[in-house]
Structures are given as C-alpha cells and as structure tokens.
Amino acid sequence: MKTVLTITLLATTLLPTALLAHGNKNDGHQEKARTIDYSKAEKHVFGQAADPAKAAQTITVDMSDQMRFTPNRIAARRGEIIRIVVRNKGQLLHELVLGTEGTLNEHAELMKKFPGMEHDEPHMAHVAPGKEQIMGWKFTQAGTFSFGCLIPGHYDAGMKGTITVR
Ligand SMILES: [Cu+2]
C-alpha cells in the first residue's frame, strides 16, 4: 500500500515538472501546474482569466528584491486577451496579484494578519526566484486597475503597478 502511494505521488509531482520546465509551473505555494477551465473563469471588475495562447499581446513583467515591478505600468485594451509573463529576477519569492486598489489593499491587510495563508487563484502568480510564470487575462471593463505583490512588506515597500484599460 505504501509503495503504491509513493509511486502515485512521484508520478503526479514529477510529470508536470518535466513537461512544464519553462511553462506556467508554480514553484511557490503549490507543486502542480495549474489547469484553468477558462469557460468557467470567475468574472471580476478587473476582468477574467483567459487562454494565454489566444493573446493579442505579450507583456513581460520583471520582479526584483528592490520590491519593484518593471514595468510598473501596463496598458491594455478592453476585451483583448493579454499574456503576462512574470519573471522573478530576485532571490525572494514574489507574486503578482491583479485587482483594483481596493481589493489589493484589503488582501494585503489579510496577508499581514495571516502571513502563511495559502492563496492561489487565476488572477495571481506566485513566482519562485529565477522562475517565470505565464498568466492569461482579459480585461472586460475600461478603467484603471492595479497589480501588486502582497507578500507582507513587499506591497508597502512599493511593489505595485497600474493597469490602464481603454
Ligand atoms: Cu514581492
């Protein structure tokens, strides 16, 4: 029984790692590559998860231990899918969470109260040092939205950015 369990665990943890060595593997809080059913994507005021393979443009955002995103401004068109490649250039774990200034502030406060809290949803990417992750997103309303790293201390230190959707 124990052997069977071990083999199953190995198969489920090793396979995605091998297949997605450069893909959207998440080395942060979770071990499995995430699979998203885009047809059931949750709708937020700041948009919804969408298939990055259908993106109209790719935006690369670098994260650093100086608590900065580069660029910290993103421009997108309403209804268009963007592929966001999030690269962690630092030595610390960073994350990119999409939202509005309000939802991010709220979430940042929650993270301070519960620093070890597990959070993972399609509008977030947790990226381990030296790794990258791909997010597919469609902004469905025009306006100004936000992104930030909500790891305690990072957001307050300025690890945030603005998204303008026209
Ligand atoms: Cu960070």
Tens of pLDDT along 85-130? 999 999 999 999 999 999 999 999 988 888 777 778 899 999 999 9
Q: How many Cβ atoms from other residues are within 10 Å of residue 80's Cβ?
A: 16
State if pTM tops 0.75: yes
- Ordered by start, the domain boundaries in the chain are 23-165
Per the DSSP assignment, residues forming a β-bridge with 60 are 85
User: Residue 18 burial by CB count (10 A; 0-12/13-18/19+): exposed, middle or buried?
Assistant: exposed
Neighbours of ion ligand 1 (CB under 5 A): 94, 149, 151, 154, 159
Among residues 37, 38, 56, 52, the alpha carbon closest in space to that of 86 is found at 52
- C-alpha dist (Å) from residue 49 to 117, 149, 160: 22, 18, 20
Query: What distance in angstroms lies between residue 5's CA and the mean position of ligand 1's atoms?
Result: 36
Query: What distance in angstroms lies between residue 52's CA and the mean position of ligand 1's atoms?
Result: 23
- Domain boundaries 23-165, corresponding CATH code: 2.60.40.420
Query: What distance in angstroms lies between residue 41's CA and the mean position of ligand 1's atoms?
Result: 25
Query: What distance in angstroms lies between residue 104's CA and the mean position of ligand 1's atoms?
Result: 13
Handedness of CA 26, 66, 72, 143 (dihedral sign): positive
Query: What distance in angstroms lies between residue 125's CA and the mean position of ligand 1's atoms?
Result: 11
Q: pLDDT of 54-83, one tens digit each?
A: 999 999 999 999 999 999 999 999 999 999
Query: What distance in angstroms lies between residue 131's CA and the mean position of ligand 1's atoms?
Result: 13
Query: What distance in angstroms lies between residue 50's CA and the mean position of ligand 1's atoms?
Result: 24
Query: What distance in angstroms lies between residue 110's CA and the mean position of ligand 1's atoms?
Result: 15
